[in-house]
Chain A
Amino acid sequence: MTILVNKDLRIDELTSSFSENGIVRIPSFLENESAGEIREFLKQNVEYKNAFFVDGSNRQASDKEISDLSYDTRQKLYRGIHLSAAKGVGFLYVKHQIIDDSPESLKSILSCLNSKNVIELISSITQNMHLNYADGQATRYRSGDFLTRHTDDILGETRQIAYVLGMTESWHPDWGGLLQFYQQNGTPTKSWSPEFNSLTLFDVKKIHSVTSIAPFADENRYSITGWYRK
Chain B
Amino acid sequence: MFYDQYNSAEHFHCWYDDTVKDHSNKSVCNLKIEIKMNLSLAENIDIDNLNTSFLKNGYIKVKNALNNDTANYLFEKFSMQEEWNLVFNHNGLHQDLNSTEVAQWSADKKNDLQLIVHQQASQGFQYFYEAIPIYDIYHNNIMPGHFFNDILEFLNSSTVLDFYRNLLSAPEISFADAQVTRFGAGSFLNCHDDSVDNKNRVAAFVINLTKDWRADWGGALHILDDESQIKQSFLPSFNEINVFKIPVDHYVGIVAPFSKGERLSITGWLRSGENPMRL
Contacts and interface: CB of A to CB of B under 8 A. Distances in A.
Interface in A179-194: 180, 182, 186-188, 191-193
Interface stretch (A78-86, A106-114, A221-229): A78-86
Contact of A186 (B122, B214, B229): B214
Interface string A188-228: 10011100000000000000010110111110000000000
Contact of A191 (B119, B222, B254, B260): B222
B218 interface: yes
A-side interface size class: 20 to 34
A202 B114 CA distance: 37
Contact of A85 (B123, B186, B229, B258): B258
B258 A217 contact: no
A189 B256 CA distance: 19
Contacts of B119: 216
A155 B188 CA distance: 38
Contact of B218 (A175, A182, A212): A212
Contact of A188 (B190, B220, B260): B220
B261 to A, nearest CB: 9
A83 B259 CA distance: 9
B225 to A, nearest CB: 11
A85 B260 CA distance: 10
B224 interface: yes
Given A191-B233, A215-B118, A218-B122, A173 B216 contact: no
B254 A209 contact: no
Contacts of A90: 216, 258
A200 B85 CA distance: 41
B198 interface: no
Contacts of B259: 86
B260 A214 contact: no
Contact of B215 (A86, A176, A188): A188
Interface string A87-98: 010100000000
Given A193-B229, A214-B188, A216-B122, A176 B216 contact: no
Main secondary structure of the interface of B (DSSP, over half): mixed
B184 interface: no
Nearest to B251: A174
B230 A178 contact: yes
> Interface centre among A82, A144, A193, A212, by most B CB within 10 Å?
A212
Contacts of B258: 81-83, 85-86, 90, 146
A149 B215 CA distance: 8
Interface of B: 114, 117-119, 121-123, 126, 186, 188, 190-191, 214-218, 220, 222, 224, 228-230, 233-235, 251, 253-254, 256-260
Interface of A: 81-83, 85-86, 88, 90, 144, 146, 148-149, 172-176, 178, 180, 182, 186-188, 191-193, 209, 211-212, 214-218
15 contacts: A81-B258, A86-B214, A86-B259, A90-B258, A173-B230, A176-B253, A180-B215, A191-B222, A193-B228, A211-B253, A214-B188, A214-B254, A215-B118, A215-B186, A216-B126
Given A186-B235, A211-B253, A216-B122, 14 more contacts: A85-B216, A86-B216, A86-B258, A90-B258, A149-B216, A174-B121, A178-B253, A182-B215, A188-B234, A191-B220, A193-B228, A211-B218, A215-B186, A215-B257
